[in-house]
Amino acid sequence: MTDLIHPRHRGSIYWSAFLGLLERDVRVLRRQFLPFLVRTVMNPILFVFVFAYVFPRIGQGISGAGHAASFATVLVPGLVAVGMIFQGIAAVALPLVNEIGRTKEIEDRLMAPVPIRLVALEKIVFGSLQSVLAAAVVFPLVYLIPATDVEVHIRNPVLLVVVICLGGLISGAFGLVIGASFRPQQVPLIFSIIVIPTTFLGCVYYPWSSLAAIRWLQVLVLFNPLVYISEGLRSALTPDVPHMPVAAILVAQLTVLATLVWLGLRAFLRRVID
């Protein structure tokens, strides 16, 4: 169908159709904003409430009560990163699993006058927008709830914006890879073999450098996309906490993003064409 469009008008038609798909998803999100809010903040709030509020109040800290304040500071960027990656999975992966395997709703989107790849890219962009919104919602909560002071210093606002934008795109692309690779009956596996390991091995509760004592694990977690979102936010929000070099973080984020987009598009095309 797209071959019948004159090349001169093809770009504008593709762009209009892409925006139409995005506008449709945004309208659905507006009607379901409360469920979005609940699924975004529930997990980070529970973790920060227990580790950074309850533990200091009862005289128990991570690695001793004297480290409670530093742990709360370490926790803030990590939990913002968790909120972003969870939103990418919830906004892209879980709906896509049903759209392809159960409701067949994806067939309506494929009728849009755009290449199939653009339909998949729209999923990534929409997921990234939700992930960025999740970061904006989670950050003030994990900053205010801890019982001890949280030391956040945004010395480079540009770095923060770049890290959050790349983190949002990584979250959306990660969701596309998962959503295009799993079938409805395999949804429980997403949480048991992807979500839980990704969270606990994503440098959320500790800096990547602290894993130096377990060298094999420090190398292994480099395959986890959440590591680079956590370390990136740590470098932007809590630069006094040990973190990867900024240049290494940005290069890694771009590399992970390109890899996930390639894997996601490949899986998506294979599923919808079959």
- Within 13 A of 60's CA, how many CA atoms are on the CB side? 5
**Shortest CA distance to 87 belongs to which of 223, 192, 229?**
229
Q: Which helix (H) or strand (E) holds 126?
A: helix 116-144
Count of domains forming the chain: 1
Structural domain harbouring 89: 2-273
Q: pLDDT at position 48, please?
A: 75
Look up the pTM and report it.
Answer: 0.83
**Shortest CA distance to 264 belongs to which of 167, 178, 171?**
178
Q: pLDDT at position 86, please?
A: 86
Q: pLDDT at position 57, please?
A: 75
Q: pLDDT at position 74, please?
A: 81
Residues 6+ apart with CB under 8 A from 176: 92, 93, 96, 120, 123, 124, 127, 260, 261, 264, 265, 267, 268
Q: What tens digit of pLDDT does each residue of 139-196 get?
A: 888 777 776 777 788 878 999 999 999 999 999 999 999 988 888 777 778 878 888 8
Question: What parts of the chain have a pLDDT lower than 70?
Answer: 1-11, 13-15, 17-18, 59-70, 102-103, 108-110, 112-113, 147, 274
User: String of b and e for 79-99 (b: at least 16 CB within 10 Å)?
Assistant: bbbbbbbbbbbbbbbbbbbbb
Rounded to 10°, the helix 116-144/157-181 angle is: 130
Report which residue type is found at 118: L
Q: pLDDT at position 68, please?
A: 39
CA distance 130 to 60: 35
CA distance 158 to 144: 23
